[in-house]
Amino acid sequence: MKNNRTFLEKLLDGAEVEWKPLIKVASLTRGRVISKEYLADHLGDYPVYSSQTVNNGEIGKINSFDFDGEFVSWTTDGANAGTVFYRSGKFSITNVCGLITIQNNLELNYKFLFYWLSIEAKNHVYSGMGNPKLMSHQMEKILIPIPPLSVQTEIVKILDALTALTSELTSELTSELILRRKQYEYYREKLLSEEELGKVGFEWKPLGEVTNIKTGQAVSKYSISQNPGIYPVINSGREPLGFINEWNTENDPIGITTRGAGVGSITWQEGKYFRGNLNYSVTVKSDYKLNIRFLYHILLHFQKEIHNLCSFTGIPALNASELKKLEISIPAIEEQQRIVLILDKFEALTNSITEGLPLAIEQSQKRYEYYRELLLNFPGRE
């Protein structure tokens, strides 16, 4: 029976785990307002951390510091509310961050606390005036498991190694993904260049002459939330706005964003879906020989030209009448099909959801999270 014990049970070896709310083991403070102007006027060597997750939250360096030593910090409000960081050395944090200082007489490892809160904090995020928040009065209620310090140290050692391995693997996979994207873009630009197409012959045609361009149907986040379903809503971004219980589009995969930050972006969505009013449908006219996948690739090739047609005074927008004037280069249908075969292979290698690198990166992160939660699954919680 003893051999069936979990790894954590073997680590504990019968030792008890005490549970205490965070406020009983640490003090919590907030950062201060540090503006872009302040950062620019006080350049130095000490990092300033804020609510972003890129670059470990660092937004700049200044010539002074507010904290020195080991700490755990968390994001108090905004999209990244509840995100937890391990901090050490001399640094400062902004007013959208909180800082946790463990009581001096307590045997609690900062890294151990960081790993625990990385799992637990997100469960306590709440909505304050529509804005995600995790303020001190909620953070301090989180229960913390306190096994013997030797157990904490061993768990930290294992999780540090797993973190490093996952980070290295993710970095390698991301580098490979970037390389494949560059390969796809290189061959797309080469195969669709005027010089290359000139070897087989092509003609310039205004987009409005060979395609029909129509606007989708108005949809709101509220209507999506009230009518959840299986059909993706394609609107102002490359990713679905959500999923709804009705569809208005089928076998009409190409879209172009009409307004907003992603204006001019080319989208491809197969099957049935709901096209929003911030996305143009671009379909081939029945009397013209134009491969739909070739049209997709050629529009990506002319992405810069499409972007130049957009207006950026006020809300960024792309007028259909301007888009129709865009001239695209079209070779014979046989050449279109040849180019599509090549570019589709590169795109599949790059963007495959089920077999490609994005899934490998996601699986790597899930494996890490699985083992982290296994190591921190302590008994005795109320």
- What single string gives the DSSP state of each residue in 123-169? GG-EEETTEEE--HHHHTT-EEEE--HHHHHHHHHHHHHHHHHHHHH
Give the pLDDT score at 42. Answer: 96
Q: What b/e sequence results for 16-48 when a residue is b if at least 16 CB atoms lie within 10 Å of its CB, and e otherwise?
A: eeeeeebeebbebbebeebeeeebeeeeeebbb
Q: Which residues pair with 49 in a beta bridge?
A: 58, 93
CB 80 within 8 A of CB 105: no
CB neighbours (10 Å) of residue 195? 7
Give the pLDDT score at 109. Answer: 96
CB 70 within 8 A of CB 110: yes
Q: How far is residue 90's CA from residue 208's CA, in Å, rounded to a whole number?
A: 60
Question: Which pairing describes strands 43-49 and 84-93: parallel, antiparallel, or unpaired?
Answer: parallel
Q: How far is residue 52's CA from residue 46's CA, in Å, rounded to a whole number?
A: 17
What is the distance between the terminal CA atoms of the chain, rounded to a whole angstrom? 26
- What's the pLDDT tens digit per position in 307-346? 999 999 888 999 999 999 999 999 999 999 999 999 998 8
3 state DSSP class of 185: helix
Place of tokens 């997750």: 53
Give the pLDDT score at 356. Answer: 66
Residue 14 structure tokens: 């019968």
At position 206, the amino acid (one-letter code) is: P
**Measured CA distances, 300 to 266, 304, 312, 366 (Å):** 7, 8, 20, 33
Nearest CA to 215 out of 279, 287, 164 is that of 279
CB 260 within 8 A of CB 286: no
Sign of CA dihedral 196, 197, 198, 199: positive
Contacts of 89 (CB under 8 A, 6+ apart): 68, 69
Give the pLDDT score at 2. Answer: 47
Burial class (CB in 10 A: 0-12, 13-18, 19+), 297: buried
pTM across the whole model: 0.67
By residue count, the chain amounts to: 382
Place of tokens 């993706």: 232
Give the pLDDT score at 1. Answer: 37
For the chain, list residues with pLDDT below 70.
1-4, 351-357, 382
DSSP 105: T
Burial class (CB in 10 A: 0-12, 13-18, 19+), 343: buried
